[in-house]
Structure 1
Amino acid sequence: MQETRVHNDDVLHDILARVDTFFDGLFAPLARWLPELEQQLRAHLHEGPITGSQLVALIEPGAHAILDGTERPLYGAGFCASEAVVTTGNPLAWWQGSERSLLASSTFGPGQASIDLGRLEWYRVPERTGERHVAGPFVDYLCSNEITITSALPLIVDGTFWGVVCADVLVHSLESEMSADLASAENVTLVNASGRVVISTDPDYETGDRYAGARAEGGVASLGEDVRMVSSKRYPFALVVPA
């Protein structure tokens, strides 16, 4: 049986502080973009909702500024509009990959190929709560086809939800960013609020696994005395290590 190295709480808090700092750096440019985006949309919506193609032209400079102006390893960024903003065409203006390509997909067409964006976690949670949200890890079949974490901020204008600004990070990029911090941390696992594994140095866990003892309803809160855990105060993450 492999021996577990027991880390003191200071080590766990230091690693978690790096996770917080990483996501602070994702949300900061999104937050700075919101006032500018609100002003631009107000100017274009005085006669009613705009089209998806108009949204793309409006959003592209801001999305590229997010992608090119941060040290974080972003995969994609953009804006997903509500029906208060776009009623015709694609409500998602999104650029991704090293070439900053515009996402163009038939998934927004009619019939079985269509996707109800409003049901996706990174959209529906900020719409419901009015607060920033981190969704994932999940396999992003819409954009990257890779395991992804999406950070989202709602745009609410005069009490009306206008959509969300978002940025994507691939989990393997987060793992690379955290590699130095985790190098000497044995059997430490970063989980989300539902108890899903984000990254781990425990050989028993891979990204997307549910941590043992984390029930579907209770999530990370249902983990018992068999683990030691420190939780972030700003983001839906916790570090877990066997007790």
Structure 2
Amino acid sequence: MNAKRLGPDAGALARAASDALEPVFARLARIAEAVAESRPPGGDGWSEAHLGDVQNLLIELLAEDGLAVGFGFAAAPGQIDGEDRYMAWWQRQGDRAVRLRLNFDPDSIDVYDYLQMEWFKPARQSRSRVAYGPYVDYSGSELYVVTAAVPITVDGVFLGVSGVDLSVGELERRLIGVLRGTPADAVIVNAERRVIAANTPRWVIGALLPHMPTPSGTAGRGAFVDVVELPLSTGWVLALAEPEAPENR
């Protein structure tokens, strides 16, 4: 690959893409801090009544950035009012913020068991950032979203996660703004090999690649010549390829 001809290297683009999304995780950190501060010493008697400031913060953050269509806190079992499931999640509907109400009854046919969701389980197990999707959120916003989450812990106790649903359309727009900085064909892929954004129609948003991008070592049609993980700590990677010939586009 001719680095001069193709512009910024993958590392620089990956850092720029991460910088575009770090404000999302800064907001999730604010929610996590507010949740932790709401918890009584020792966690005894922690109830929804303690979460007034958290609820207000969720609504406030929702109004700050059109990238987010929902912000929330999903609790670990037994943390809030002793319930196995508890969620405080607010969504944008038009110019209003509306609280999301879901069915957590395990005996119900339409139960929403977020404990098994791919944005909750990895955060609980690894105690690290998660960004899952794109997927259609049929149970919540009914939109095409990426859900990002960060674990909340106090004194080693896992309390749950702070989370956000991101509009895939707006996410793609912002990342394409970064990827346009290179004349190479560039794509960002999540940890499940799904395309998040690309500066060329050769990769369709949400499509599942047959394998994670890896540098081929040789240039050629369809070959990735530079692959870098985003510093975002979500397992996303950015890959560059030689531009396709016009007849292949």
* Range class of TM-score, shorter chain: 0.7 to 0.9
List runs of 5+ in structure 1 lacking aligned partners. 1-5
**Across the two proteins, how many residue pairs are aligned to each other?**
228
Q: Of 116, 138, 163, which residue of structure 1 is paired with 2:135?
A: 138
Within a 5 Å distance, the mapping from 1:81-120 to structure 2 comes to 81-86=75-80, 87-88=82-83, 91-97=86-92, 98=94, 99-105=96-102, 107-109=103-105, 110-120=107-117
Give 1:185 deviation, angstroms: 4.3
In structure 2, the residue corresponding to 1:113 is in which secondary structure? Answer: coil
Q: How far apart, CA to CA, are the structure 2 residues paired with 1:158 and 1:58?
A: 21
Q: What amino acid is the match of 1:108?
A: F
In structure 1, the partner of 2:236 is 237
In structure 2, the residue corresponding to 1:84 is in which secondary structure? Answer: coil
Q: Of 64, 67, 73, which residue of structure 1 is paired with 2:62?
A: 67
Give 1:161 deviation, angstroms: 1.0
Segment of structure 1 superposing worse, 114-123 or 173-182: 173-182
In structure 1, the partner of 2:245 is none
Q: Does 1:194 align with 2:192?
A: yes
Within a 5 Å distance, the mapping from 1:1-243 to structure 2 comes to 8=6, 10-42=8-40, 45-47=43-45, 50=47, 54=49, 57=52, 59-68=54-63, 70-71=64-65, 73-86=67-80, 87-88=82-83, 91-97=86-92, 98=94, 99-105=96-102, 107-109=103-105, 110-183=107-180, 185=183, 187-212=185-210, 214=211, 219-220=212-213, 224-225=216-217, 226-228=223-225, 229-235=227-233, 236-243=235-242
When normalised by structure 2's length, the TM-score is 0.78
Segment of structure 1 superposing worse, 178-187 or 193-202: 178-187
Contact 1:45 1:85 (8 Å CA) reproduced: yes
**Percent identity among equivalent residues?**
22
Q: How far apart, CA to CA, are the structure 1 residues paired with 2:189 and 2:78?
A: 35
When normalised by structure 1's length, the TM-score is 0.80
CA RMSD in angstroms comes to 2.8
Deviations 1:159-207 (A, max 9, x none): 2211001112111111222343334645321111232111123323212
In structure 1, the residue corresponding to 2:39 is in which secondary structure? Answer: helix
Q: What amino acid is the match of 1:95?
A: W
Contact 1:192 1:220 (8 Å CA) reproduced: no
Contact 2:193 2:209 (8 Å CA) reproduced: yes
In structure 1, the partner of 2:247 is none
In structure 2, the residue corresponding to 1:60 is in which secondary structure? Answer: helix
Contact 1:151 1:167 (8 Å CA) reproduced: yes
Q: What amino acid is the match of 2:90?
A: W
Contact 1:30 1:66 (8 Å CA) reproduced: no
Q: How has the CA–CA distance of structure 1 residues 168 and 23 changed in structure 2, closer, same or farther, with 3 Å as cutoff?
A: same
In structure 2, the residue corresponding to 1:122 is in which secondary structure? Answer: coil
In structure 2, the residue corresponding to 1:104 is in which secondary structure? Answer: coil
Q: How far apart, CA to CA, are the structure 2 residues paired with 1:156 and 1:90?
A: 17
Q: How far apart, CA to CA, are the structure 2 residues paired with 1:59 and 1:36?
A: 6
Q: How far apart, CA to CA, are the structure 1 residues paired with 2:168 and 2:124?
A: 24
Contact 1:197 1:208 (8 Å CA) reproduced: yes
